[in-house]
Every structure is written in C-alpha cells, then in structure tokens.
Amino acid sequence: MGLHFYISILSIAALALCTLAEEDSSVNFSYIGQNGPEKWGSLSPDYAACSNGKIQSPVDLVYTDIVLNNQLKPLERNYVPTNATLVNNQFNIGVHFEGKVGDIYINGKNYSLRQLHWHTPAEHRAHGRVHEAELHLVHLTEDNNNIAVVASLYNLGDPDPLISKIEDKLYELENQSRGAGNKNAKISLGIFDVKEINQNIHRYYRYIGSLTTPPCTEGVIWNIVGKVRTLSKKQLELLKKPLSVNFSHNARPLQPLNGRQIEMYHYHPNRNLTSIFRIHLNKLFVFSNTRFTLPLTQRHHKSTNDIYLF
Ligand SMILES: [Zn+2]
C-alpha cells in the first residue's frame, strides 16, 4: 500500500491536539508502571488509537521496507527567529513558538513549525539501532487538522548547537520543575533563532504514522532526517533532568509497520536520471528496481564528515 492510501486517511482524520502542543496539568500516562505504553489505549476513550491503531509510530527503519521515491520533494525550510518558551510539559522538554517560525510544504499543504521537543532515547530506530535522543519538529496546517513531523536522531558526540543555546535555561527549568512538582514549568526564551536546524536535508525517510504520545492520533506525516545529529553527554542529561522518573525515558516502544512502506528522498545533483539501475557516485548505495541494498551500519560521509543513519 502506497503513500496515497494513507494520505486519504489523513484528510479525513480529525486530529485531537490537546496534549500535543498545549500544557496539560493532568498527564495520566507514563512510560513505566501500570500506566505504561502497553496500557495507554485503555487509560481514556480518547486514547483508543494507542492500542487499536494500525498506522502507529515510532517504527524501525528497516532497509527492506524502504523504497526510493524520486517524486518526493526536498523539505525546504527557512525558519526565522520568533518569541519562544522552554516548556516542561511533564512528558518531554520542548520549545513552543508563539509567532510564525516557518513552513514546510508537503503534498500541496503548508505546515507551520509550532513546537519542537526531545525524546530520550530516540523513538525511531535505524535497522534496530537505538540512538541516544530524537528531536521532533512539529508542524501543523493552519486549521490544526494535519500534522507533519521532521525528526532527527542523535549520537553522542559534539554538543548540539541548538541545545547549547538553551543549556542555561535547561538548568533553570530543572530547578523550577522541582519546585513545581514537575508540573508545567516554563521559561521564556525571548526571541529564539532556530537557524541551527535550517540546514538542507539531503536525505529523509517518509511514512505515515501517528503521534508517539497519547492520544496517538494517526495520519501524521513523518520525515526522518537521514543525517544524524550529535549531542554531548551533558546535554543528554540536561534534557532528562527536569523530567520525573516516569518520563525521563520517554521513548514509546516500536510499533508494527503493518505493510506500510517507508519512502526515501535522496538528493541527487541529476534528478532527471531515468535509469532504474544506478550506482550512486560514492558507491554507498546500489539501487535496483527501486528496492535497494544498504550497509546495515551507519555511514560516515568522508568528504563532509557527516554521519548518516545507513
Ligand atoms: Zn515527539
């Protein structure tokens, strides 16, 4: 089943976003114990999709499920500085934007960046590999009915320049969260510039899934960036510390693909190549009949020093 099937689901999905972007003082789910992920679907009728849904997230990006799609468009972004707030919403740490940051354009619709947040460890996997953390850039259409997330996975390594800008505030957030019993601590960031995430995306993986937290709403367009980001050990700790023990490991377990295809966008200087057999110039990939074989470990791009998921 292809992407278009899921797009039609997307268009009829009424998406409840109350726990996605807004503060919620009554978070009733957890990542451990009796309200853990396997129980989410029974905690509220609104969460039914968490157990009944057929196109849930996160998933493992397994190379045999991935198909190169030359029709996919680049994810062009030009986020601009705007007023923002660092928020501990109890189940993750995020930055919520008050003004317009910028849009991505997917299948005829504009999606605006509304908030970003982190999960530790990562939720999506790359051929079973678990990364240290995952960044979710949550974009919504103007009517709030459609969601597109751009996700990046992190290895431990050099500090992430985006997190570096809020390190002091993360310490403050930790203190305030303790004082507030972890309930909805927030700190103004003033005008916040996310230029560190404006980089061009040369490779991404797209599939249709769901929110990874209750209500697990389906129809979310996922775009997993192929290039791996890095963060320092200290930064990883800073992202966890404001959270209570129920949420410091806030990665939902993998969900079954159920026949979904994962499509790959791959920038190529000559996008007009029509051959279905082609060998990428750096010989990392061999494409054949749009199925392709990949090395099973992440790749170090020698010329740019970049690390890729495969
Ligand atoms: Zn998330």
The whole-number pLDDT of residue 306 equals 85
> Bridge-partner residues for 175, per DSSP?
none
Give 271 Cα–ligand 1 centroid separation in angstroms. Answer: 32
How far apart, in Å, are the Cα atoms of 3 and each of 27, 34, 90, 153, 261?
Answer: 33, 35, 34, 23, 7
Give 277 Cα–ligand 1 centroid separation in angstroms. Answer: 37
Q: What 3-state class would DSSP assign to 309?
A: coil
Model confidence band, residue 180 (pLDDT cutoffs 50, 70, 90) = low
Give the CATH number for residue 287: 3.10.200.10
Give 199 Cα–ligand 1 centroid separation in angstroms. Answer: 20
- The residue with tokens 């959270």 is 243
User: Is the preceding omega at residue 242 within 30 degrees of 0, hence cis?
Assistant: no
Q: What 3-state class would DSSP assign to 179?
A: helix
Dump the DSSP string for 107-142.
TTEEEEEEEEEEESS-SSEETTBPPSEEEEEEEE-T
95 sits in which H/E element: strand 93-97
State the DSSP code for 21.
H
Q: Please state the pTM of the whole predicted model.
A: 0.85
Whether the per-residue pLDDT at 308 is higher than 60: the answer is yes
Q: Which of 73, 212, 54 is nearest to 135 (CA)?
A: 212
d(C-alpha 251, C-alpha 266), whole Å? 27
Whether the per-residue pLDDT at 63 is higher than 90: the answer is no
The whole-number pLDDT of residue 26 equals 64
d(C-alpha 273, C-alpha 286), whole Å? 14
Average pLDDT over the chain, rounded to an integer: 85
Most confident of 59-73, 214-228, 256-270: 214-228
Q: Report the relative pairing of strands 229-231 and 147-156 from DSSP bridges.
A: parallel
Which domain does 157 fall in, by range? 3-308
Give 309 Cα–ligand 1 centroid separation in angstroms. Answer: 19
Whether the per-residue pLDDT at 19 is higher than 50: the answer is no
For 223-251, write each residue's pLDDT tens digit: 999 999 999 999 999 999 999 999 999 99
Q: For the chain, what percent of residues have pLDDT higher than 90?
A: 69
Long-range contacts of 81-85 (CB under 8 A, 24+ apart): 81/191, 81/192, 81/193, 81/194, 81/195, 82/191, 82/192, 83/188, 83/189, 83/190, 83/191, 83/192, 84/188, 84/189, 84/190, 84/191, 84/192, 85/186, 85/187, 85/188, 85/189
Give 282 Cα–ligand 1 centroid separation in angstroms. Answer: 33
Give 118 Cα–ligand 1 centroid separation in angstroms. Answer: 6
Q: How many domains does the structure of the chain reveal?
A: 1
For 188-217, write each residue's pLDDT tens digit: 999 999 988 888 899 999 999 999 999 999
Give 302 Cα–ligand 1 centroid separation in angstroms. Answer: 31
Q: Report the relative pairing of strands 299-301 and 306-308 from DSSP bridges.
A: antiparallel
For 102-147, write each residue's pLDDT tens digit: 999 999 999 999 999 999 999 999 999 999 999 999 999 999 999 9
Give 117 Cα–ligand 1 centroid separation in angstroms. Answer: 6
Give 269 Cα–ligand 1 centroid separation in angstroms. Answer: 32
d(C-alpha 163, C-alpha 170), whole Å? 9
Query: Tell me, what amino acid is at 210?
Result: S
Give 280 Cα–ligand 1 centroid separation in angstroms. Answer: 33
